[in-house]
Amino acid sequence: MQLDEKIRGVVRDVMDYPKPGILFKDITPVLAAPALIDEIVQSLAARYQSQKLDAVVAVEARGFIFGSILAHALKTRLVLVRKAGKLPYKTRRQSYALEYGHAEIEIHDDALEPGWRVLVHDDVLATGGTAVAAAELCKSFGCEIVEFNFLIGLSFLPGKEKIQSRFGINPYCVVDY
């Protein structure tokens, strides 16, 4: 069975979360499957092994899970992007639109260096607002965005197009819905 089929077999749909009309793709069942986690990380690590990444930039909160495991597998830095007000040190902030509202994210002011090659990672690509905001933060340091990757892509929403038009990069999703 293909990796995307295995993931589809365990991802849970939750209707009307976090608000009415939203069909939420819940990855927590994936996290209860250690062999599947290992297969996902091996697949992603193989994709980026030769890319000479300086950091995996992982977006709060579920993006931290695979982002941290992937950074470890690639033997590179993990950089956290969090909701505004959650990081303890000096930060840079970026606002953005969600598929169901607005938000702001932050990154530590000393998290990245000019010229670093970074991978932006999150669990789900929906409208692309969070990923674009995270990449804008990386660009504010002078970093090169190597790729955006996601466990799940919602192809019926404009996230891929938003990333492609803004950065000229085709985001990679392990599984598309």
The pTM score is 0.95
Q: What is the pLDDT of residues 84-98, one digit of tens each?
A: 999 999 999 999 976
Q: Which domain holds residue 163?
A: 3-176
Catalytic pick among 39, 82, 99, 117: 99
Q: Are 91 and 107 in contact (CB under 8 A)?
A: yes
Check which CATH number belongs to the domain holding 104 and give it.
Answer: 3.40.50.2020
How high is the pLDDT of residue 102? Answer: 87
> How many Cα atoms occupy the beta-carbon half-sphere of 69 within 13 Å?
18
| First-last CA distance in the chain | 17
Tell me the C-alpha to C-alpha distance, in Å, between residue 159 and each of 33, 46, 81, 107, 121.
27, 24, 18, 21, 14
Mean pLDDT in residue range 36-41: 98
Pairing of strands 101-108, 23-26: unpaired
Mean pLDDT in residue range 22-35: 96
Instruction: Please give the tally of structural domains in the chain.
Output: 1
How high is the pLDDT of residue 97? Answer: 78
Q: What is the pLDDT of residues 74-126, one digit of tens each?
A: 999 999 999 999 999 999 999 997 656 789 999 999 999 999 999 999 999 99
Percent of the chain clearing pLDDT 70 (strictly above) = 98
Does 147 participate in catalysis according to the annotation? Answer: no
Torsion-angle region of 8 (φ positive above 0: left; ψ -120 to 50: alpha; else: beta): alpha
Catalytic pick among 60, 62, 106, 147: 62
